[in-house]
Chain A
Amino acid sequence: MNTKLSNDEIRIVTPDVKWKDITRGGTISEAANARLFKTGDWRSMKPVWLQEKCKQCLLCYPVCPDTSVLVNEEGMMTGFDYDHCKGCGVCAKVCPFKAIDFVEESK
Chain B
Amino acid sequence: MAIRERLSGNEAIATAMKQINPDVVAAFPITPSTEVPQYFSTFVADGAVDTEFVAVESEHSALSACVGASAAGGRTMTATSANGLALMWEVLYIASSLRLPIILACVNRTLSGPLNIHNDHSDSMGARDSGWIQIYSENNQEAYDNMLMASRIAEHPDVLLPVMVCQDGFITSHAIENIDLVEDSKVKDFVGEYVPDMYLLNKENPIAVGPLDHFTHCFEHKRQQAEAMKIAKKVILQVSEEFSRLTGRNYSLFEEYMTQDAEVVTVVLNSTAGTAKYVVDQLRAQGKKVGLIKPRVFRPFPVDELATALSRFKAVAVMDKAESFNAAGGPLYTDITSALYSKGVFGPKLVNYIYGLGGRDVKADDIEFVYNQLLEITGTGKVDSVFNYLGVRE
Q: Could you tell me which A residues sit within 8 Å of B by CB distance?
A: 15, 17-20, 22, 24-31
Contact = CB atoms under 8 A, between A and B. Distances in A.
A interface: dominant SS? loop
Interface residues of B, number: 24
Contacts of A28: 207-209, 211
Contacts of B198: 24, 27, 29
Interface stretch (B173-181, B219-227, B235-243, B294-302): B219-227
B216 interface: yes
B210 interface: yes
A26 B216 CA distance: 12
Given A27-B207, A27-B208, A30-B207, A22 B217 contact: yes
Contacts of B209: 25, 27-28
A27 to B, nearest CB: 5
Contact of A31 (B207, B211, B218, B224): B207
Nearest to B227: A19
B220 A19 contact: yes
Contacts of A17: 217, 220
Contacts of B160: 24-25
B223 A25 contact: no
Nearest to A15: B216
Interface in B94-126: 97-100
A30 B217 contact: no
B222 to A, nearest CB: 8
A30 B206 CA distance: 6
B208 A19 contact: no
A31 B225 CA distance: 23
B207 A29 contact: yes
A31 B99 contact: no
Given A27-B207, A28-B209, A30-B205, 17 more contacts: A15-B216, A19-B221, A19-B223, A19-B224, A19-B227, A22-B217, A22-B224, A25-B97, A25-B160, A25-B221, A25-B224, A26-B98, A26-B210, A26-B213, A26-B218, A29-B205, A31-B205
B207 A22 contact: no
B interface: dominant SS? loop
Contacts of A19: 219-221, 223-224, 227
A26 B207 contact: no
B208 A20 contact: no
Nearest to B212: A26
B99 A25 contact: yes
Nearest to A20: B224
Of listed A17, A24, A27, residue having the most chain B CB within 10 A: A27
A33 to B, nearest CB: 10
Contacts of B99: 24-25, 27
B206 A26 contact: no
21 contacts: A17-B217, A19-B219, A19-B220, A19-B221, A19-B224, A20-B224, A22-B220, A22-B221, A22-B224, A24-B198, A25-B99, A25-B100, A25-B160, A25-B221, A25-B225, A27-B99, A27-B207, A27-B208, A27-B210, A28-B211, A29-B205
B207 A24 contact: no
Contacts of B220: 17-19, 22
A12 to B, nearest CB: 10
A26 B217 contact: yes
A89 B232 CA distance: 53
Contacts of B216: 15
B129 to A, nearest CB: 17
Contacts of B208: 27-28, 31
Interface in B184-217: 198, 205-211, 213, 216-217
Contacts of B221: 19, 22, 25-26
B291 to A, nearest CB: 41
B223 A26 contact: no
Contact of A25 (B98, B205, B227): B98
Nearest to A32: B206
Contacts of A26: 97-98, 210-211, 213, 217-218, 221
Interface string B15-31: 00000000000000000
A29 B207 CA distance: 5
A85 B208 CA distance: 24
A53 B99 CA distance: 55
